[in-house]
Amino acid sequence: MTPSRGGPLAGLKIIELAGIGPGPMCAMVLADLGATVLRIDRREPSGLGIQRPLRFDLLLRNRHCISLDLKKADAVEAVLSLAEGADGLIEGFRPGVTERLGLGPDVCQARNPRLVYGRITGWGQEGPLAQWAGHDINYLALTGVLEAIGGPDKPAIPLNLIGDYAGGSLYLALGMIAAIFEARGSGKGQIVDAAIVDGAAHLATSYFGMIAAGMWGQRGTNLLDGGAYFYDVYECADGRWVCVGPVEPKFLRQLLDLVGIAPDDTWDPADRQKWPGARERLAAVFRTRSRDEWTGLLQESDACFAPVLSWAEAPKHHHLQARRTFVEIDGIPQPAPAPRFSRSVPRDPVPPAPKDADVDAALAPWLPAEAIRALRSAGTIQ
């Protein structure tokens, strides 16, 4: 793995203290875009997170990984030496853990005043719940987001994309880049406190506005949560599914025309009392053809239509293939780095590297050769 992969963040150097979920995703995003990220892992497995063979742990791609025993003073000193040449450091422990290790922000920034110290947790660095364990579903529940997702009977669980990765990882990545940008002018680093509850709440800003305006009601009865017949999924003749979302009247008219329905007052999108009946009629129409037949008719139109694809089907879709939305690395289809850049284009991802696979190459961008040899002689690195 080369020290720089190109991309708009080439030259940026980030230390990642190994954690689970949101921290590795943030580190992957930065590395995907060209940052040199060094992951520092435990000597022994933590037992946290969802375990899988390394080559399938795609969040660990694009960076070297070394192991250190952070309970030992020489290992802590090694991290502090690395921090001296870093733009940022990411950690995802419970509040206070890195301080007890001797790697808290005050100590690290004393060695490097420009260092941006990124902290990712569920509940945040302070508050009554800060010290307690939680996962995505809990953070969504507390912010009101979980209650709003699903049908009338009960809330639905939307994977762990909204909290962990959107409200957590991406907000931490944005915060790191913003703080590093500011540090280049001020010469001073700072702490980025990325709490998943904060990010999840922030993602829902538009909905809080609609709620305040009286435009959002009981779960499963609203415009964008499956309440509207024109923003829903429908089963087809072959048992597979399609979705439609023509919220704008002109797009709705095109959908109805293409499926052979003559619009009348029954289909008035502004009359919520007519939504259930319209849904039943539209569902009956979609059950007359297979998913792929409907796709051939509707996909290249303004009907706001898409087939509901499986994980296996998605990388094979012709639009996503044309854009290279997915790439195959080490035999594993996976999302390509995003977003796109016209000039500073990052290279394709590199598979996750085994821990301590090439320590010299991992540390070469960070430390001189004699310092690496000294660490090895002392037994600090493998």
**164 & 276 share domain:** no
- Choose the final residue of a domain: 261, 277, 307: 307
Measured between alpha carbons, how far is 360 from 368 in angstroms, rounded to an integer?
Answer: 10
Rounded mean pLDDT of 295-317? Answer: 97
Domain count, the chain: 2
Judge if 339 and 256 occupy the same domain.
no
Give me the CATH number covering residue 163.
3.40.50.10540
Report if residue 95 sits inside a domain. yes
pLDDT value of position 2: 44
Q: Please tell me the predicted confidence (pLDDT) of residue 376.
A: 95
* 229, amino acid identity: Y
| pLDDT exceeds 90 at position 48 | no
pLDDT at 44: 80
Structural domain span for residue 338: 13-203+327-377
How many of the other CB atoms lie within 10 Å of CB of 290? 15
Does some domain include residue 319? no
Is there a contact between 256 and 263 (Cβ–Cβ < 8 Å)? yes
The answer to whether the CB of 15 falls within 8 A of the CB of 79 is yes
Burial of 206 (0-12, 13-18, 19+ CB in 10 A): exposed
pLDDT in tens, 51-96: 889 999 999 999 999 999 999 999 999 999 999 999 999 999 999 9
Asked if residue 295 and residue 264 are part of one domain, the reply reads yes
What would the two tokens of residue 353 be?
Answer: 């590297």
Asked if residue 81 belongs to a domain, the reply is yes
Q: Which amino acid is at 255?
A: L
- pLDDT tens-digit readout, 213-234: 999 999 999 999 999 999 999 9
Residues 36 and 183 in one domain: yes
- pLDDT tens track for 105-129: 999 999 999 999 999 999 999 999 9
195 and 343 both lie in a single domain: yes
Residue 135 has pLDDT above 90, yes or no: yes
For residue 246, what is the domain's CATH number?
A: 3.30.1540.10
Tell the burial category of 192 from Cβ atoms under 10 Å away from its Cβ (0-12, 13-18, 19+): buried
Co-location of 63 and 125 in the same domain: yes
Task: Give the per-residue pLDDT at 20.
Answer: 85
DSSP string over 134-180: --HHHHHHHHTTGGGSB-SSSB---TTIIIIIIIIIIHHHHHHHHHH
Rounded to whole angstroms, how far apart are CA atoms 2 and 191?
29
pTM of the model: 0.95
315 occurs within a structural domain = no
Is the pLDDT at 36 greater than 80, yes or no? yes
- Which pLDDT value is given to residue 369? 95
Same domain, 350 and 300: no
Indicate the SS3 state at residue 300. coil
d(CA 259, CA 249): 16
- Note the pLDDT of residue 4: 59
What pLDDT shows up at residue 1?
43
The rounded mean pLDDT for the chain is 95
Report the distance separating Cα 25 and Cα 21, nearest Å: 6
Residue 3 has pLDDT above 70, yes or no: no
CA–CA separation, 338 and 274 (whole Å): 41
The structure tokens 């005043």 sit at: 113
Q: Are residues 132 and 31 part of one domain?
A: yes
Q: Are residues 163 and 35 in the same domain?
A: yes
Q: Please give the positions annotated as active site.
A: 135, 164
In a domain, 176, yes or no: yes
Q: CA–CA separation, 260 vs 303, rounded Å? A: 13
